[in-house]
Chain A
Amino acid sequence: MQDSIVRLEGASKAFATPEGGSVTALDAIDLQVRRNEFLTLLGPSGCGKTTLLQAISGFVELDGGRILIDGEDMTDRPPYRRPVNTVFQNYALFPHMTVGENTAYALEVAGVAKAKRREQVAAALKMVGLAGMEGRRPRQLSGGQQQRVALARAIIARPKLLLLDEPLSALDKNLRQAMQIELKTLQHELGISFIFVTHDQQEALTMSDRVAVLSGGRIQQLDTPRAIYDHPVNSFVATFIGASNLFDGRIDGDRLMTGDGTEIRHRRAPSTASGAATALIRPEQFFLAGEGEPFPTLDVDLEAIVFVGSTFELFGRTSAGKKVIAEIPAGRRSLIGDIERTRRARLAYDPAAVHLIHACAEA
């Protein structure tokens, strides 16, 4: 028994553009999805997420590379002979069939007997919280309910893998958060792997076991949400996930000197004693320096102070003109009063929290 349910080896795909050129949607992707894993593909629009998903489900023929599902080579199999089901972005429910018929479809085409079908449909609908809705038509349902039907339809045949292409993007915010939790629970109950596509980083971080960050048809980083947030391998990942302050410079012992003379302290043992690198400080890692601050500091002129509820966001520039963003807990109003008056702030940070990205990691 292998421990990966899906294996992509050098999967490549390029599309011809109308102008006569070509875009690389998948650039020799290697990927392994573990059994029972919730894996999220995260990336900006057009980075190849849908293409990757459709390569697995069989709707996109690869130019090169292989796809194995549960150890079997699927590369040349048509979609209807792959043990994979998909929850489509706009649900793709058959409008001329009832909820029950939609849900039963996979069983029906597989030749499952009618009585058995009815039983399983009832169970699947119950699982997604739509018990007894068999007779309705898709268009008589709300967006959230349609979503659930799509889910029930996709899991009823117990695929080895469920693919979800931005399934929540059409829902409003509250419903989306409720569905996030439900999806996660469902995945645990079913015990099958999910590959979930989103361009919403919050969604990716909260739901996933691992996140694959895609850009330009390549996997930039594949890791747990925390590792991706705390230790991005390159500045694309750092900026795409969460807000970030990036300082490019050269490493000199325990400090990094930027071209404009700013000095950032760090605690990481650099693999090379010196060399080009980028230091990452997340906005929430800054705090306002007190009298005789023991931690290293950075002086900034403030351009805007924005109250966002639980925090204040400070937008400022260093003396060299580099933009800096910091997040200060809103509890300490008195300090904010001071800096609002002076429009200057001394930001402190823990060198241990500074993450270094080495230039060689940049593509």
Chain B
Amino acid sequence: MKIAQSLFRGSLVAYTGLFFAFIYIPLVVIAVYSFNSNPVNMMTWTGFTTEWYAQVLGFKTTVSENALYIESTGQLLQAVWNSLVIATSTTLIATVFGTAIAIGLYRFDFLGQRFYRVIMFMPMLMPDIVLGIALLIFFVNSGIHLGLMTIIIGQCTFLISYVFIVVSARLAGMDRTLENASADLGADEWTTFRRVVLPQLLPGIVGGALLAFIISMDDLVITYFIAGVDVTTLPMFIFAMLRRGIKPEINAIAVMMLTFSFVVASLGLYLRSRQK
């Protein structure tokens, strides 16, 4: 019995080890192979090089002109810039709107409140493609020119939900008697909100904003349908490259993106754990 039990424990631990290996080994593999100098067969190691990175960043490299697959660093940078502009705008809008709904539903009791809450989950659960084409039909029918504007509006529809849910969770964990205590000590509603509710809510709002930013930066499907012909975002850029064929430069871009988001996410989660 004892042996069987420790055997079971052991295999459970081993399984969990495999679980993490499954998640991380692929990421490590491409990180390593992004330094592989083999331009044709990316998974056959022929030597170490940083050439692909240099190329992505627009430096002159030794690779012959016709081996260059990346259209231009300028296009890539434009896509990054577009993504940043979109993510910043949507994060601002979605954070304000999502927080407003969360507070409204928390502070007030009104008819249909439950229904409203359920509705707020819908944009998040709606399959990307459904929302994407619905927005496409809507924008085309209403004659709105597809571009940055439509992307921002379209992303906001579901990002509001994410912010709402994160902020609501924070509100739900909040002790309502604290507001009573504040009023009891002579603070009017606005002071109570400013001094008691908001400071406690802040980690939730920041968390929701961070989440919205990351999801916006990463959104492909919805953006893909409503971007029109003029605007390309970073995920769309990579998607287009992938569809044309796998090139070592994509690998370098991928690793840079992974590193960037790992650093940002780690920082965010670290700050949040400190705030608790």
Contact = CB atoms under 8 A, between A and B. Distances in A.
A349 interface: no
B41 interface: no
A29 to B, nearest CB: 21
Interface string A78-95: 111100111010101111
Contact of A79 (B175, B180, B191, B196): B180
Given A92-B177, A94-B196, A109-B191, A78 B186 contact: no
B269 interface: no
Contacts of A92: 175, 177-178, 180-181
Contact of A80 (B175, B178, B184): B184
Interface string B158-196: 000000000000000001011011111111100110011
B177 A157 contact: no
Contacts of A96: 199-200
B49 to A, nearest CB: 52
A355 B130 CA distance: 79
Contacts of B188: 78, 80, 109
B201 to A, nearest CB: 10
Nearest to B187: A109
A58 B186 CA distance: 11
B185 A109 contact: yes
Nearest to B177: A92
Contacts of B175: 90, 92
Nearest to A54: B180
Interface residues of B, number: 18
B186 A80 contact: yes
Given A94-B196, A96-B199, A105 B182 contact: yes
A90 B177 contact: yes
Contacts of B180: 59, 79, 86, 88, 92
Contacts of A86: 180-181, 184
B207 to A, nearest CB: 16
B183 A105 contact: no
A106 B195 CA distance: 12
Contact of A85 (B178, B185, B192, B196): B185
Interface string A148-171: 000001100100000000000000
A88 B181 contact: yes
Nearest to A95: B200
Contacts of A109: 182, 185-188, 191, 195
B160 to A, nearest CB: 26
A231 B185 CA distance: 39
Interface residues of A, number: 24
Q: Which of A93, A95, A105, A106 has the most CB of B within 10 A?
A: A105
B181 A94 contact: yes
A98 to B, nearest CB: 13
Contacts of A105: 182, 185, 187, 195
Q: Which of B175, B183, B191, B192 has the most CB of A within 10 A?
A: B183
A93 B218 CA distance: 41
Interface string A85-121: 1101010111110000000011001100000000000
A96 B182 CA distance: 13
A39 to B, nearest CB: 19
A95 B178 CA distance: 9
Nearest to A86: B184
A109 B190 CA distance: 11
Given A94-B196, A95-B200, A109-B191, A85 B177 contact: no
A110 B186 contact: yes
Contacts of A157: 185-186
A110 to B, nearest CB: 6
B183 A153 contact: no
A59 B184 CA distance: 9
Contact of B185 (A58, A90, A153): A153
A79 B175 CA distance: 18
Nearest to A90: B177
Given A96-B199, A109-B191, A80 B177 contact: no
Given A95-B200, A96-B200, A109-B191, A88 B186 contact: no
Nearest to B178: A92
A57 interface: yes
B205 to A, nearest CB: 14
B59 to A, nearest CB: 49
Contacts of B183: 58-59, 78-80
B174 to A, nearest CB: 10
Interface in B128-184: 175, 177-178, 180-184
A177 B187 CA distance: 33
A208 B188 CA distance: 33
B167 to A, nearest CB: 16
Contacts of B186: 80-81, 106, 109-110, 157
Nearest to A83: B186
Contacts of B178: 92, 94
Contact of A57 (B184, B187, B196, B199): B184
A84 B192 CA distance: 17
A-B pairs with lowest CB-CB distance, top 9: A92-B181, A106-B185, A79-B183, A109-B187, A92-B177, A80-B183, A96-B199, A86-B184, A109-B186
Given A78-B183, A80-B183, A153-B185, 18 more contacts: A59-B183, A79-B183, A80-B188, A81-B186, A86-B181, A88-B177, A88-B180, A90-B177, A92-B175, A92-B181, A94-B196, A95-B200, A105-B185, A105-B195, A109-B185, A109-B186, A109-B191, A154-B185
